[in-house]
């Protein structure tokens, strides 16, 4: 059902940052805009930012509350306004059983096209709710061994050399670093980091390289300097160029912007060695799980990534971490105003809390 306010009061409510609540059958849906403050200005090939808008959700059924989140970095095209507008259209009155996860999330997905982060906020909250109802974390429901979680990388954004050195020193607990590239400072970034540490690196170009010959030259240069994989080296539209590079690259290539949802996994086969799964791209845990299974069936590498998020969405994604090759789940570590406690990182390794659902509690 639609929220009980017109667009003008809705805009006023949004500006005030208040929680919106509406009953939808036996479910109660609440959502609230929030702004994440980054500890450092975050720069990638596409631009810089110091904040990320999110919407925090709660889905209640029979007195049990599941938590969810939508995070909207600029390239997704979503915003506080668009997410709240979408959530106002969610009507779960036809569903009296939270365990009908497939049917319920199919309904949410078909309310209207797009809106993957908004949809993920419902998906995560529903998974948290169901896990709490049966008193089990999702990694156990999926049958995953929490001892098999990988190390998570820690992201170093593009910056001046001294700031890069400072960020690397701050990342001392982490065993692998993820470096943002894609500008004319690429070699400086790697050489500066190598002045401070010899840890393995992975790099994310965010579509910054445009020529395949240059990309191959850089792949060889990076491989010689301890880089273990190369994420989204060229624009996703350059399918043939990315496939050409993958065939020749000395290190694995990973599709990120090119791989949004489940149908994109099959399309990425032969174009990249692996895929980067993010809940905010693919509408949440349900589809992320399917993407991981399909990629494994195709013998592709699997990376589990994130946006700048609170520990809510990070912990939700981490439920999949025991079955991936690489994890980049540092989104909550990059902000200074988290509102949840959940997945932990100990000596660089992802630690899944035994709490039910997605494993979080409010701070």
- pLDDT of 2 strictly over 80: no
Question: Looking at the structure, do residues 20 and 165 belong to the same domain, yes or no?
Answer: no
> Which residues sit opposite 178 in a β-bridge?
155, 202
Range of the domain at 154: 140-362
pTM of the model: 0.91
pLDDT at 18: 86
Rounded CA separation 64/284 (Å):
20
How long is the chain? 363
Q: In this predicted structure, what is the pLDDT of residue 48? A: 73
Q: Is the pLDDT of residue 194 over 70?
A: yes
Q: In this model, does residue 10 exceed pLDDT 60?
A: no
How far, in Å, CA of 166 to CA of 332, rounded? 19
pLDDT at 6: 27
pLDDT value at residue 133: 98
Domain containing residue 72: CATH number: 3.30.390.10
Which of these, 319, 324, 326, lies nearest to 343 by C-alpha position?
A: 319
3-state secondary structure of 29: strand
Whether the Cβ atoms of residue 217 and residue 224 lie closer than 8 Å to each other: no
Helix (H) / strand (E) containing 52: strand 47-61
SS3 content of the chain, % helix, strand, coil (to 5): 40, 25, 35
The answer as to whether 187 is a domain residue is: yes
| 13: pLDDT strictly greater than 50 | no
The whole-angstrom separation of Cα 243 and Cα 267 is 11
pLDDT at 74: 77
DSSP designation for 87: H
Asked if the model's pLDDT at residue 315 lies above 70, the reply is: yes
Residue 67 lies inside a defined structural domain of this protein:
yes
Q: How far apart are alpha carbons 122 and 234 in whole angstroms?
A: 32
pLDDT in tens, 138-187: 999 999 999 999 999 999 989 999 999 999 998 999 999 999 999 999 99
Whether 72 maps to a domain, the answer reads: yes
Among the residue ranges 32-36, 63-67, 70-74, the one predicted with the least confidence is 70-74
More confident residue, 27 or 15: 27
Percent of the chain clearing pLDDT 70 (strictly above): 94
Instruction: Look up tokens 């997905």; give the residue.
Output: 109
Q: Which of these, 78, 79, 104, lies nearest to 92 by C-alpha position?
A: 104
Query: Which has the minimum average pLDDT: 47-51, 82-86, 135-139, 226-230?
Result: 47-51
Amino acid 46: pLDDT = 59
Residue 18 DSSP one-character state: P
Q: Which of 75, 110, 134 is the last residue of a domain?
A: 134
What gap in Å lies between CA 113 and CA 105, rounded to an integer? 13
The CATH number of residue 163's host domain is: 3.20.20.120
One domain for residues 182 and 42: no
- Assigned domain for 1 exists: no
* Chosen domain end from 81, 105, 134: 134
Q: Report yes or no on 2 lying in a domain.
A: no
Mean pLDDT of 336-344: 95
C-alpha distances out from residue 211 to 204, 207, 241, Å: 16, 11, 8
**pLDDT of 77 over the 50 cut:** yes
State the total domains in the chain: 2
Tell the residue number behind the tokens 């059958």, with chain if given. 25
Shared-domain flag, residues 243 and 346: yes
Of the three residues 98, 117, 134, the one that is the final residue of a domain is 134
- Does residue 26 carry a pLDDT above 60? yes
The pair of structure tokens assigned to 310 is 């609170």
Contact partners, residue 311, CB within 8 Å, separation at least 6: 332, 338, 340, 341, 342, 343, 360
Same domain, 264 and 122: no
Average pLDDT over residues 226-240: 97
Q: Rounded CA gap, 277 and 279, in Å?
A: 7
Segment 46-50 mean pLDDT: 72
Structure tokens at 358: 């997605």
The pLDDT of residue 44: 67
What CA–CA distance (Å, rounded) separates 224 from 22?
56
Q: Which has more pLDDT, 23 or 319? A: 319
Mean pLDDT of 246-262: 98
Output b/e per residue, 247-283; b: 16+ Cβ within 10 A. Answer: eebebbbbbbbbbbbbebbeebeebbbbbbbbbbbbb
Please name the residue that has the structure tokens 């999926």.
142
Lowest mean pLDDT segment, chosen from 74-78, 174-178, 322-326: 74-78
Q: Are residues 195 and 300 in the same domain?
A: yes
Strand 177-180 to strand 326-327: parallel, antiparallel, or no bridges (unpaired)?
unpaired
pLDDT at 130 (0 to 100): 98
Q: Is the same domain home to 126 and 156?
A: no
Average pLDDT for residues 248-277, to the nearest whole number?
A: 98
267: pLDDT strictly greater than 60: yes
* Rounded Cα gap, residues 186 and 334, in angstroms: 22
Averaged pLDDT of the chain: 92
């Amino acid at each position: 059902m639609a929220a009980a306010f017109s667009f003008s009061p809705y805009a006023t409510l949004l500006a005030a940052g208040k929680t919106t609540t509406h009953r939808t059958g036996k479910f109660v849906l609440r959502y609230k805009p929030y702004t994440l403050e980054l500890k450092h200005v975050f720069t990638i090939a596409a631009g810089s930012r110091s904040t990320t808008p999110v919407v925090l959700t709660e889905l209640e059924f029979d007195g049990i509350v599941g938590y969810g989140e939508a995070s909207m970095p600029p390239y997704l095209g979503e915003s506080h306004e668009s997410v709240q507008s979408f959530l106002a259209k969610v009507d779960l009155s036809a569903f009296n059983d939270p365990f009908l996860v497939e049917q319920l999330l199919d309904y949410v997905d078909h309310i209207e096209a797009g809106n993957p982060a908004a949809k993920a906020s419902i998906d995560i909250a529903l998974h948290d709710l169901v896990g709490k109802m049966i008193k089990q974390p999702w990694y156990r429901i999926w049958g995953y061994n929490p001892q098999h979680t990988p190390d998570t990388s820690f992201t170093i954004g593009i910056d001046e050399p001294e700031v890069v050195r400072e960020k690397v020193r701050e990342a001392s607990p982490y065993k692998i670093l993820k470096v943002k590239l894609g500008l004319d400072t690429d070699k400086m970034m790697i050489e500066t980091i190598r002045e401070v540490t010899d840890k393995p690196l992975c790099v994310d170009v965010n579509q910054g390289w445009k020529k395949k010959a240059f990309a191959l030259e850089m792949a060889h240069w990076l491989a010689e300097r301890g880089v273990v994989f190369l994420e989204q080296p060229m624009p996703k539209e350059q399918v043939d160029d990315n496939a050409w590079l993958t065939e020749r690259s000395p290190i694995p290539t990973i599709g990120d912007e090119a791989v949004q949802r489940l149908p994109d996994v099959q399309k990425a086969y032969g174009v990249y060695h692996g895929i980067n799964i993010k809940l905010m791209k693919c509408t949440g845990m349900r589809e992320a799980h399917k993407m991981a299974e399909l990629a494994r069936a195709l013998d592709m590498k699997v990376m589990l990534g994130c946006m700048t998020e609170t520990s809510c969405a990070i912990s939700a994604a981490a439920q999949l971490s025991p079955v991936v090759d690489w994890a980049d789940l540092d989104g909550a570590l990059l902000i200074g105003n988290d509102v949840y406690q959940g997945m932990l990182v100990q000596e660089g390794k992802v630690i899944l809390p035994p709490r039910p659902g997605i494993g979080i509690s409010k701070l």
